[in-house]
Structure 1
Amino acid sequence: MGVATAAQTVGVGVVFGLALAAPPGPMNAVIAEESVLRGWLAGFTAGLGAMSADLIFFALSLAGVVAFLDDAGTVRAIMVGAGGLLMLYFAAGAVRDARADFLSDDAGPAPDDADARGFTKAFVLALTNPYQILFWLTVGVGLLEPGTVDVLSYLPAVGEGLSGVLVVRTGSPALLAGLFGGIGVWIVGFPATLVSVGRRVDSFAPAVAGVSAVVLAGFGATFCWTAARTLLGSVA
C-alpha cells in the first residue's frame, strides 16, 4: 500500500496513538487502578499525567534534549532504575488499595485528592518509563523530520506481519495532532469501560487493583534489574 495522503494523516495519527497507548504496561496499570477504585475522573486524570509526560518529551525532542539521552547511557540507566523503584512503591500501594476495597465500603480519598494523586503517579512514572523514553529517542524524534513511518509495525505481537500495510508521511503537524488525539481517545474510553464493568461486577475493582499491583511489580523489578546491570557494566 502506498504512502497515506495528507487528508488521511490525522486519522492515521489517531490509529498510531491508540496503538501506542493501548498495550498493557505500567501506565495502563495505574489508569486501571485509579479508575476502578476512585472513578472515571481519577482514571482520566491519571491518563492526563502520562500524556503530559509525552508532551514534555515532545517539547524536549524539538529542543534536541531527548537526543542527548541517546548518548548518555548512565543517565538513562539511572532514570530507568528510578522508574523501577517507583513502580515497586506504587505496586505496594495498589496491594493496600485492593485489600482496603475488599474490607471496607469507604470510597477512598476526596475526589480532588484522588485526582491529584493519580495524575502525579502516572506523570512521574511516565517521565522515568524507558518505553516512553525509547519511543521519543527513536520513532518520536523521527516524527518531527520529513520522511515516513510504518505505523502498524509498532503494534505488539502482530506488528511484523502488518509491516508495510500503512505508511504515513512524518514531519507533519497533522500526524502529531492525530497521535496525541489517539492517546486522548484512549484515556477517555479506557477508564469509562472499566468503570462501566465495575458497576456490574462487585469484585471487579479489587481484582483490577490486584492485577495492577502485579503488573507494576513485574515491570518495576525488570527495570531495576536492567538499570543495575547497565550501571555495573559501565564501571566494570
Structure 2
Amino acid sequence: MVFGLALAAPPGPMNAIIAEESVVSGWSAGFRAGLGAMVADVLFFVLTLAGAMTVVDRYPAVRPVLYLAGGVLMLYFAIGAVHAARDATSFTDSGQSASKGFRKTFTLSLTNPYQIGFWLTIGVGLLESGTLDVLAFIPGAGDALEGVLVVQTGSPSLLAGFFAGIAVWIIVYPAALVAADRRVDSFAPMIAAASGAVLAGFGVWFLWAGGTALL
C-alpha cells in the first residue's frame, strides 16, 4: 500500500485533473477521475502479464508518438481547467457541470509514456520473484530513503496492496480538497487554475520531448 501511495501522491497531470474535478464538481467527480487512472493501471497490468506491453520497446517510434498525443491532450484539458476556474466562483457551484474526469484520466493514461514505462520496468519486477526497494522510487527523495522499505515481489498480496494504496489515494485526496474548499470559499477557482497550469506545463514538456525524439 505504501508503494501504491508513493506512486499516486506526487504532483502530476493525473492529480491535477483529480484536483480540478474535486473542487469544481465535488468528491464523486474527483473520485471518478482517480478511478480512470487506476483502471488504466489495471489494464496496463493485464497487458504486462500477457507480455503485450513490449510492443513499445519493439517499435521505437511508438514512444515519441505517445509523447505528442499526450501533450496535445494535456493542453486540451488545460484549456478546460482554465474555463472551469473562470466559471466556478466557489464550492457552491459544484455539481453544476458534468464531470468528464474518468474519460480524461483514462485517455491520458493510455498516452502517458511514463506510466507505460513504469509497467515495462518496475511493473514487470512486481510480477517476478525477488525484492523491491519501495521508497527508492519516490521522486526527489528516493536516494535518501533507499533501503528503508524492501518487500518481496511476485506475490498476490503485494499486487493487492499496490492497487489498494492507489485506491486509498483517490478516495482521500478528493475528500481533503473538498473539505478544504468548504472552509475557504475561493479555493475552487484557485485549484482549477493551478491544475490548468500544471497540465499546460506537462503538455508543453511532452510535445517538446516527442518532437525532439522524432527529429
TM over 0.5: yes
How many equivalent residue pairs? 215
From 148, 155, 158, the counterpart of 1:165: 148
Greater displacement, 144-153 / 15-24: 144-153
Deviation at 1:168, TM superposition (A): 0.9
Report the residue type matching 1:169 in the other structure.
Answer: Q
Residues 33-90 of structure 1, C-alpha deviations (whole Å, 9 max, x = no match): 0000000000000000000000000000011011221232211211121011000000
Highest Rg: 1 or 2?
A: 1
Contact 2:18 2:34 in 1 (8 A): yes
Q: Look up the match of 1:184.
A: 167
- CA root-mean-square deviation: 1.5
Percent of aligned pairs with the same amino acid: 61
Q: What's the CA shift for 1:102?
A: 3.3
Structure 1 position 126 matched with structure 2 position 109: yes
Structure 1 unaligned runs (5+)? 1-13
Partners of 1:161 and 1:45 in 2: CA distance: 34
Deviation at 1:157, TM superposition (A): 1.2
Q: What TM-score, normalized by structure 1, do the two folds share?
A: 0.88
**Are the equivalent residues in 1 in contact too, given 2:20–2:30 (CA < 8 A)?**
yes
Correspondence for 1:40? 27
Residues in 1 aligned to 2:25 and 2:95: alpha-carbon distance in whole angstroms? 7
Aligned counterpart, 1:150 = 133
Query: What's 1:31 paired with?
Result: 18
Large movers: runs of 4+ above 6 Å = none
Gaps of 5+ in 2: none
Q: Distance in 2 between matches of 1:193 and 1:174?
A: 28
Read off the aligned partner of 2:76 and give its amino acid letter: Y
Residues 175 and 105 (structure 1 numbering): CA distance in 2 closer, same or farther, change over 3 Å? closer
Name the CA distance, whole Å, in 2 between partners of 1:49 and 1:103.
25
Match of 2:201 in 1: 218
SS at match of 1:41: helix
d(CA) in 2 for partners of 1:65, 1:80: 19
SS in 2 for 1:194: helix
Question: Does the alignment pair 1:21 with 2:4?
Answer: no
Distance 2:140 2:36 in 1: 27
